Chain A
């Protein structure tokens, strides 16, 4: 259950943001203009499942690279949690901290759950011009994998804007 803000639809401008990944570093959409960006919102670091979503995306990152796509993970965890999580799982793509004001970016993307104060598991593909090309809201407990992202990247390469499924 999200807080009522709608997820931006395909064809709409992706809300801009810049969030911390390190104490002295912020990362935002503007850093990747000219490339497709995959935003992966997720509820929390330290999911106990072997091969969880964020670890899977690290393993799939060579495939994303074939599309020149940048991948950003976003949760409300603080940067130190992200650092430890990334280190433990050898994740080298940026994990962004939507920590203060808490969940602000997640709200703008319509995926913040005020009930438990986390971002819902959701995916957005933003094209190289900053327009939403595809989005997907996953049930909380279900790891959406990467097949939807790759299908959306294929569609983007073929010049079509795909509809939210």
Chain B
């Protein structure tokens, strides 16, 4: 049985790539997961190789028992995005490129890189202001059959193939697109 996305992609999702793209890749990821870190440049490459055809939506799926700071990292990205939606993806890319820095001092490091007010982000993270958003993402992932990270969906159908660029591009090309 093929797992399907239960929560459709909306404007409330973090989206990268052209809005009208006929193919949407949804990624459920964990900022402390090494496989997700490896997938991030791969997905950027997929977007670059298929301009106009594909866009990416990112949802949080932290596994706190394996990755103690993953949830805080997700909340930090949300707090950055709340202040300035444009900064979500720079925060996202920085987190995946600097996993070794994800720890108790995550927020000042992230914000120094972004040139963002660290105090406001720290306050939001400490107060759990975005915990609900992260939990909602997580719950939608569980319901959709996320079974590890990263899990990808191509137009709502779980992609169980390899994370090899050629395979992923072939899968993106094979998605049936209604005219």
CA distance A147 to B2 in the complex (A): 11
Contacts A55-B63, A89-B65, A145-B3; A50 near B35 (Cβ below 8 A): yes
CA distance A91 to B6 in the complex (A): 27
Do residues A50 and B34 form an inter-chain contact, with CB atoms below 8 A? yes
What's the dominant secondary structure at chain B's contact region? Answer: loop
Q: Which of B11-51 contact A (CB under 8 A)?
A: 30, 33-35
Q: Which of A51, A142, A145 has the most CB of B within 10 A?
A: A51
Interface residues of B (CB under 8 A from A): 1, 3, 6, 30, 33-35, 62-66, 138-139, 142-149
Interface residues of A (CB under 8 A from B): 49-53, 55-56, 58-60, 63, 89-91, 142-147, 150, 165
Contacts A51-B33, A51-B149; A145 near B142 (Cβ below 8 A): yes
User: From A66, which residue of chain B is reached at the shortest CB distance?
Assistant: B139
User: From B160, which residue of chain A is reached at the shortest CB distance?
Assistant: A142
Do residues B147 and A144 form an inter-chain contact, with CB atoms below 8 A? yes
CA distance A14 to B51 in the complex (A): 54
Chain A residues with Cβ under 8 A from B63's Cβ? 51, 55-56, 58-59
Do residues A56 and B143 form an inter-chain contact, with CB atoms below 8 A? no
Q: Which of B62, B64, B65, B66 has the most CB of A within 10 A?
A: B65
CA distance A49 to B63 in the complex (A): 13
Chain A residues with Cβ under 8 A from B6's Cβ? 147
CA distance A51 to B142 in the complex (A): 12
